[in-house]
Amino acid sequence: MVNFKANIVTILDLDYNKTINTATKYELYNAISKAAMKVINNKNSEVQEGRKVAYFSAEFLIGRLFYNNLVNLGLINQYSEIMSESGLDTRMFEDVEDTAIGNGGLGRLAACFLDSAATHNIGLDGYGIRYQYGYFKQYFEDGFQKEKADDWQKHGDPWSVRREDEKVEIVYKGQSVYAVPYDTPIVGYNSKRINNLRLWQAEAKEPFDFELFNEQKYDKAVKEKNDAEAITKVLYPSDDTDVGKQMRLKQQYLFTSASLQDMIRRYKKKYGDDFSKFADVYAIQLNDTHPVVAIPEFIRIMVEDEGITFTKALKMAKEVFAYTNHTVMAEALEKWNVALFKGIIPNVYKYIVLINKALLKELELFGIDETDKGRYVIIDDNKSTIHMARMAVFATHSTNGVAGIHTEILKNDVLKDWYKLYPARFNNKTNGITQRRWLLIANPELAGYVTDKIGNSWTIDLNKIKNIEDFKDDNSIIDDFNDIKQIKKRQLADYIMLKDGIKINPDFIFDIQVKRIHEYKRQLLNAFSILDIYYGLKNGRIDRNLFNPTVFIFGGKAAPGYVRAKGIIKYINEISKMIENDNEVKDMLQVVFVSDYCVSYAEKIMPAADVSVQISTAGTEASGTGNMKFMLNGAVTLGTYDGANIEIVEQAGRENSYIFGATVSDIESIKDSYVAKDIYMREPRIRKVMDTLVDGIFNDGGTGIFKELFDSILYGAEWHKPDNYFLLLDFIPLCEERLKLNADYSDRMLFRRKCFMNMANAGNFSSDRTVKEYANEIWKAL
């Protein structure tokens, strides 16, 4: 039996009766983490009967694994007690972003699924890439986003174990590398189950050529090492050139091929060369189109290495693989240029050709004529493009969306032709979040409050949180709830001061939009609305005596090559600077763009929010999970009828939400006749805020990006129509709904009761529910 407490006492007695600085903090972090790993290694994982599920994802945004594991192992109280006795801050590791190799919702969802599966004894292992530098660290320089490498391993990685003996060879055209696995245990909450996250790192087969070095050809001596390690160097390398696209394809092939080889090795160890049981033993879930290259690679391995016929291998693939679609954006439905693909993995391309031929035969059986086959083919008739989403639907047994409206859009629009062919394959699995991370850990004050009222069963069954609704009419209970919210707001204010050096007033309304920066998420519309309030306060249209002071908090990163998104960040920071320097309004308004938004920041922001801003154009956001985290922590949603917002409103009640704007059907009915410039000319409030992009009030550093944003809305571009995301259509409705919310805040009891009702009705948005639905209905693993 491993004695965690005794180990920690020994560590502290030996080494840490001294001042804690950055170096000693990470030494202590690593030492305590390794003590917890000893407990994990000594823990007998409960073995589950039935199918083993492999979750293939290009990213896993775990983050802060330290606290997650201590809580799930039941060690957090021992840790807190010992640290307190030693005079050390139990929160000193809160900013350590361990295993933070993801960009946003996709990677965070994968992390929630791993936690939920382990908690509910579902055998789900994650497979992905061990990026050396994760995404990037964000900072601002004169309001512009700047990026620097995020070396998340620089202080050590105590939670993963290198498995040198299980490395596999990955063969590209003209290059062969090793994929070396690193395993991270995923511990279930109060569960005997320990699942595994296996991340692959690319390494050279011959890292150093001694002969070339002796010949003083130093660069060539380490070229193989550098070329191999570049494959897993950075998450989502820019792909605006063919070189970047080639690197992304190499990344995708590395982790999918390595994972398949790993699974097949394990299978053969138990069953030998008899693959008749493989589909009964394994299920593979493809998290979006990034891992879809796994399908032809699986078939290639079966045919070339295991001697199985193509027809049988394709049948096996359909039984083993399932596909989750995470986007309705056409540009995100991955496609590959054939020449580029063949230049990297030609041995895989020939199996895509065979899959396409099998599809064409099936289309004939369905009676699809030649003129219509082009809507289905995986390889275009001119042999120029490979459509990965089409292959994902055809060569799997299940295609699911991630929110009710998203799945309906897939069936009726994006994948409507495929739905007509295979209606039984389509299903919905609304996303979810783990309440253990996003309430129990992120908001211990609110978690304790809930447990005090209804017990702690909600930690493994979030539907039980509904029981707290019985207290909704008790004003003293709502007062206590409000007190907790104020505590969290003060904590966030302190954290922003510490991290960004910006002072905010915790008595302001906290109106928050934090997410990846993208045009369809409409941070620019949010900024326009804030400017409208600013001008309304200045000209008297909005009564200063009735307006509740508000701080608008933004957070999120723009992809390094996404010029418009970076322009939006600069624009928001310009608005922030203008308001800060305006003595007339700065006591009423504030705009803050926090830097380097990440899991650590999110765990401070979500509990402190009064308002969750979710304003994507209806029909563009597949689901969202930030909206669920805010809801669980008692924020109201200011949003559109998009993604999971619709289901949030259904659960919380329309009266406890602030919903505005065009619906999917509204947009569908006007999209061909919509003229943004007409609205601009007709509505002076819109003209006033839009013109700030071009009238010289704000400085874009001479880049011309503000003018480009202006033109994109009024005139469009070669690749899109004007105001492609209908900002001007929803501008006035957003402004009016936001002012209604602001007025409601004057009755604090009324407003906090709305927040309370959101928390009480968040039960359906647990990833526990989502994973169980996958396990029962797709994986057949329960």
Q: Quick check: is 640 catalytic?
A: no
Q: Quick check: is 625 catalytic?
A: yes
Q: Quick check: is 515 catalytic?
A: yes
Taking CA atoms, 70 is separated from 33, 186, 744, in Å, by: 9, 11, 41
Q: Quick check: is 516 catalytic?
A: yes
Long-range contacts from 33-38, C-beta under 8 angstroms, 24+ separation: 33/66, 33/158, 33/159, 34/158, 35/4, 35/7, 35/8, 35/11, 36/4, 36/66, 36/69, 36/70, 36/73, 36/75, 37/158, 37/159, 37/185, 38/2, 38/4, 38/7
Looking at 248, 406, 516, 753, which residue is catalytic? Answer: 516
Contact call for residues 584 and 538 (beta carbons, < 8 A): yes
Looking at 137, 411, 521, 604, which residue is catalytic? Answer: 521
H/E segment holding residue 774 = helix 767-774
444, exposed or middle or buried, with CB in 10 Å at 0-12, 13-18, 19+? middle
Looking at 522, 629, 753, 772, which residue is catalytic? Answer: 629
Looking at 436, 515, 522, 754, which residue is catalytic? Answer: 515
DSSP code, position 720? B
Quote the CA–CA distance of 664 and 340 in Å, as a whole number: 37
Long-range contacts from 44-48, C-beta under 8 angstroms, 24+ separation: 44/192, 45/192, 45/193, 45/194, 46/121, 46/191, 46/192, 46/193, 48/121, 48/122, 48/123, 48/193, 48/781
Taking CA atoms, 734 is separated from 124, 535, 572, 594, in Å, by: 42, 15, 17, 23
Looking at 120, 167, 193, 326, which residue is catalytic? Answer: 326
Q: Kindly tell me the number of DSSP H helices and DSSP E strands found in the chain.
A: 32, 22
- Output the CA torsion sign for 110, 111, 114, 116: negative
β-sheet bridge partners, residue 426: 399
**Count of Cβ atoms closer than 10 Å to residue 555 Cβ:** 20
Q: Quick check: is 290 catalytic?
A: no
Residue corresponding to tokens 């200045």: 538
Taking CA atoms, 685 is separated from 138, 258, 528, 545, in Å, by: 33, 56, 10, 22
DSSP code, position 65? H
Looking at 256, 430, 617, 625, which residue is catalytic? Answer: 625
- Residue 550: closest CA among 524, 577, 530: 530
Contact call for residues 567 and 703 (beta carbons, < 8 A): yes
The residues that are catalytic are 326, 515-516, 521, 625, 629
